[in-house]
Structure 1
Amino acid sequence: MPTSSTVRPMTPATVWLARGRHAEGTAEDVLRRSLEERKRSRAIDDFLELPESGTESGTEAAPAERVFEARWRVEETVTVRARIGVTPGPDGGQEWILVAEAEQPWNDHWPSPAGLFWPEEPDVAWDRDGVAGLSLRKINPLPHDDKETRRLFRNAVRGGWHIHVVVHEAMTTDDRGRVPVARWLPVGLRHRVVEHRAAPQQHRGLNWALRDLGVQVPRGGAVVLPGKPVPDGYDAEDFSVRAVFLDGSEPTDLVDAVTRYAALPRPLPDGAEGALTALREDWHLLTLEEELERQRGLVAMYAEALEAMTKSRDLYRQAAERAHEALAAYQESAEAAPVRQQPSDTPVASPLQQLTRTFERLKGRPQRPVAPSRDER
C-alpha cells in the first residue's frame, strides 16, 4: 500500500481532534448559543469568542476565521482546553476544525468536545464530513453505482480525520437495525466515526470498491477502514468483524474493533498541526491565577533581558576603557623612546674591506713613465 514520503508528526496522546462542515445558517450564532447554554448548565467552566481574524496573502485576503475557546474539567481535576476555528467553505457552508487537549492522556469516556461546542439537536446540520459531505451522527447509505462508491471511499479516507466503518446488511433490516454504531461507542468517539451501510445486494460491488484500500467486508459483517496514512499496527484481519447482528442489540465485536483502532498511534491529520499550535501558543481564555502567572513570567523575562543588556553595556565600557589605556601607554612609550637613524639601503663596509678595495683600485691603474735624470742624459 503506498505511503507518503513526508514524515508527519504524531498525534499527542492528550489531544482530541475533529473536523466537519456546518451546512446552513451562521455557525457563529449556533456556537455562541450552545456555549452559553453549556456554561449555564456548568458543563463547561467558561468560553471566549475571539475577534474576527484574517490574513493577507499577496493581493487577496484569506478567508476570515472565527475562533471560540472553551475550557472545562473532567474527573473534577483534569483541565481540558479546546479551540474551534470556523472559516467559509467553497459551497456556501462553513468548515470547522476542533482541537482539544487535556492535562492527561485522553480518555474516550470523557465528554466529546464536539458535543460541548455544538448542540445535540438533530436538525442542526453541523455534523457533516468536510470532504465527502457524510454525516457524523447518522448512517450513510452507499451509492448504487459501484464506481461512485469506489470514488467515495477514496476521497473519504484522505486526511486521516475520521474513523470510517463499513457495515454490510445480510438482509434488509427494520428500524431496530437502523441504529448507528456510534450509539454504543464511548461518548468521546461518537463524533469521530463515519458509518457506511451497504444493502444486501451491494456486497460484491462493495468489495470491488474497497480493493484499492486492501480490505474486504465479510457478508453480513463489517470492517474499519485503514485510512490514509495507514496507522502503525493496522492489520485488516484484526479490524474485520465476521458478523454484525442488526437487531437492536449492541454489536460488541464491532465496538471493540472501533475502540482498538482509535487507540492506535496515528499521524496528525491534514491541517491539524496549525490548529494544535494555535491552541497551545495563542491561548486567550486564562483564569485569574494563570493570568497572574503569565504576568510574573513576563516580568521575569523582562528582568533577564534588562540584566543581560546591563552586563553587555558594562563589558563594553570596560573594554573601551582598557583600549584607551593601552593607546595612551603606547603614545607615552613612543614619545620617550630616542629617534633611531633609519638604516641605509647600502650596507656599510668595514675599514679592512675599504683598505682592500683601495689597493685593488691602485693595482688596476697604469703606471706613469719615470723621467731620466741629468746624469743619464
Structure 2
Amino acid sequence: MPSSSSTRPTTPPSVWQARGRHTGTAAEDVLRLSLRQLKESRAIDDFLELPETEGAQEWLFEARWRAAGSVTVRARLTVEQGSGTGQEWVLVAEAEAPWDPRWPSPAAMFWPQEPDAAWDHETVTGLRLTDINPLPSDDKAVRRVLRDSGRDGWNIHVVVHEAMTTDQRGRRPLAGMLPPSLRHRVVEHRAAPSQLRVVNWALREFGVEVPRGGAVVLPGSPSPEDYAAEDFAVRSVFLDGSEPAELIHAVTRFAALPRPVPDGAEEAVTALREDWRLLTLEEELDRERKLVAMYAEALDAMTKSRDLYREAAEEAHAALAAYRESADAVPEPRPQPPASPAASPLQQLTRTFERLKSSARTRRPSSDAGDLPEAEAAEEQPESVDR
C-alpha cells in the first residue's frame, strides 16, 4: 500500500471537493442554463459567472446556498479546456460548519441531474461517477484501470466482485444508495466472476484484496493515515437489489477520514476563500469596513514612521551643531614654517666665490706715494719757480 504523506495538509472538515470531466462541448453553456433554473427554483440563493480573462480557456462560476436551512455554503466551479477531448472541471465548496454527508451534493447545485449526463465522468479513467463501471475483459486493461484508480486522490474508488452473473436487480448503482454528498465522489468498479484473480493481482501494490463476492474501498494516493485494508473490505455484497448496508457504511467511514489534500485542491480552496466575488449586501458592507480599517491602520503607521523620522533628523542636526561649536572653541595650532633644505655643494661653492668677490671690492688702497702711478706723482709735485 502506498505510504501516507504526513507532511501534506489534510482537507478541512468543512470542505467538499470533487473533480471530473465533461465529455461534451460548451460546458459553460450547460452550467449557465442549469444555474438559472436552480436559482429560479430556489435550490440556490444566487450564482455568479466571473468575467473571462482574455485568451484564457477557463470559465469560473460561483454559487451560494443554505444547507439544513441555516448553514451557508459557498462553492466555486472551474471549467477549462483539457489536453484531450472534453473539458475538465474542479468543484470546491466550503460550509460554515463541518460538512455533513446528508447535505445535498454541491455537484447537484451546478450540473443538471439527468440520465446520461456528459459531466459526471472521472478525469483519469473517464469512468462514470453515478453508474456502474464493469472492468475491461482484457487483463492488461484491468491492471491499467485499477492502477490509475488506486492512485487517484480526488475520488473514492470501490471495487465490487460479482460472485455470479447478476440480473437486472443486481445492476443497481451504488451511487444512488449513498448519502447525497457522496454520490458524485464515488467510482464503482464491477469485476465479473472470472476476474477475481487478475483483480487481486493488480491490487497487490496497494496492499488490498477483494473478497470473493465482496468489495473493497481503495486507499487512494496518498492514503489516509488511519486507513487499514481489513477495515474497508466487505466480505459479502448481495447484488439482489437490496441496500448493501455494510458497503455503504464502509464508504461513509472512509469519506470521514482526514484525507490528504489531492494535487491541485489546495489552490482551489485558496481561490475560493480569497477571491470570492458573490457577496451579499451585508458582506459587501463588512468588506468595505475592513478595507477602511486596514487603510486607517496603514495611514497611522505611515504617520508614526514620519514623526519618528523627523525626530531622528532633528536630533542629528542638534548633535551636528553641538559638534561644530565644540570644534570652534579649541584654538587651531599655528602652522610651523617648513625647515629649509640643506644647500647643495654647488650652492656652497657659489656662495664662497661671492664672498671673495665682495671682499676684493671693499679692500682700501695703500698710502705710499712710491706705489702710486707716475701721473699721480707728477700732480703732487709743486709748480716750478721759473714759471
* Cα offset, 1:211, TM superposition: 1.7
After TM superposition, what 4+ stretches of structure 1 lie above 6 angstroms from structure 2? none
* Cα offset, 1:126, TM superposition: 0.1
* Cα offset, 1:92, TM superposition: 2.7
Matched with 2:354 is none
Matched with 1:135 is 128
Aligned to 1:162, which of 141, 155, 163? 155
* Cα offset, 1:327, TM superposition: 1.9
Aligned-partner Cα distance in 1 for 2:198–2:316: 87
Preserved contact between residue 59 and residue 78 of structure 2 (Cα < 8 Å): yes
* Residue 66 (structure 2) pairs with residue 73 (structure 1): yes
Matched with 1:358 is none
One-letter code aligned to 1:205: V
Matched with 2:269 is 276
Describe the shift of the 1:92–1:72 C-alpha distance in structure 2 as closer, same or farther (beyond 3 A): same
Aligned to 2:316, which of 320, 323, 336? 323
Preserved contact between residue 168 and residue 198 of structure 1 (Cα < 8 Å): yes
Over residues 60-115 of structure 1, what are the superposed CA-to-partner deviations in whole Å (9 max), with x where a residue is unaligned?
x7x53210001111122211110000110122310000000011110000000001
Structure 1 residue matching 2:62: 3-state secondary structure:
strand
Higher gyration radius (CA): 2
Matched with 1:13 is 13
How well do the aligned residues superpose, as a CA RMSD in angstroms? 2.0
Aligned-partner Cα distance in 2 for 1:165–1:241: 11
Query: Structure 2 regions of 5+ residues with no counterpart?
Result: 337-387
Describe the shift of the 1:188–1:4 C-alpha distance in structure 2 as closer, same or farther (beyond 3 A): closer
Matched with 1:333 is 326
Matched with 2:115 is 122
Aligned-partner Cα distance in 2 for 1:246–1:123: 23
One-letter code aligned to 2:324: Q
* TM-score normalized by the length of structure 2: 0.84
Preserved contact between residue 159 and residue 270 of structure 1 (Cα < 8 Å): no
Matched with 1:362 is none
* Cα offset, 1:342, TM superposition: 8.1
* Residue 198 (structure 2) pairs with residue 198 (structure 1): no
Structure 1 residue matching 2:188: 3-state secondary structure:
strand
Describe the shift of the 1:134–1:34 C-alpha distance in structure 2 as closer, same or farther (beyond 3 A): same
* Cα offset, 1:2, TM superposition: 3.9
Preserved contact between residue 34 and residue 117 of structure 1 (Cα < 8 Å): yes
Structure 2 residue matching 1:237: 3-state secondary structure:
helix
Structure 2 residue matching 1:68: 3-state secondary structure:
strand
Aligned-partner Cα distance in 2 for 1:332–1:197: 97
One-letter code aligned to 1:150: R
* Cα offset, 1:215, TM superposition: 1.3
* TM-score normalized by the length of structure 1: 0.86
Structure 1 residue matching 2:312: 3-state secondary structure:
helix
Over residues 100-137 of structure 1, what are the superposed CA-to-partner deviations in whole Å (9 max), with x where a residue is unaligned?
00111100000000011101111321000010001001
Matched with 1:210 is 203
One-letter code aligned to 2:191: A
Aligned-partner Cα distance in 2 for 1:159–1:247: 29
Matched with 2:358 is none
Aligned-partner Cα distance in 1 for 2:249–2:2: 27
One-letter code aligned to 2:82: G
Aligned-partner Cα distance in 2 for 1:327–1:51: 60
Identity of counterpart residues, as a percentage?
Answer: 69
Preserved contact between residue 5 and residue 222 of structure 2 (Cα < 8 Å): no
Matched with 1:31 is 31
Aligned-partner Cα distance in 1 for 2:311–2:215: 78
Matched with 1:359 is none
* Cα offset, 1:3, TM superposition: 3.0
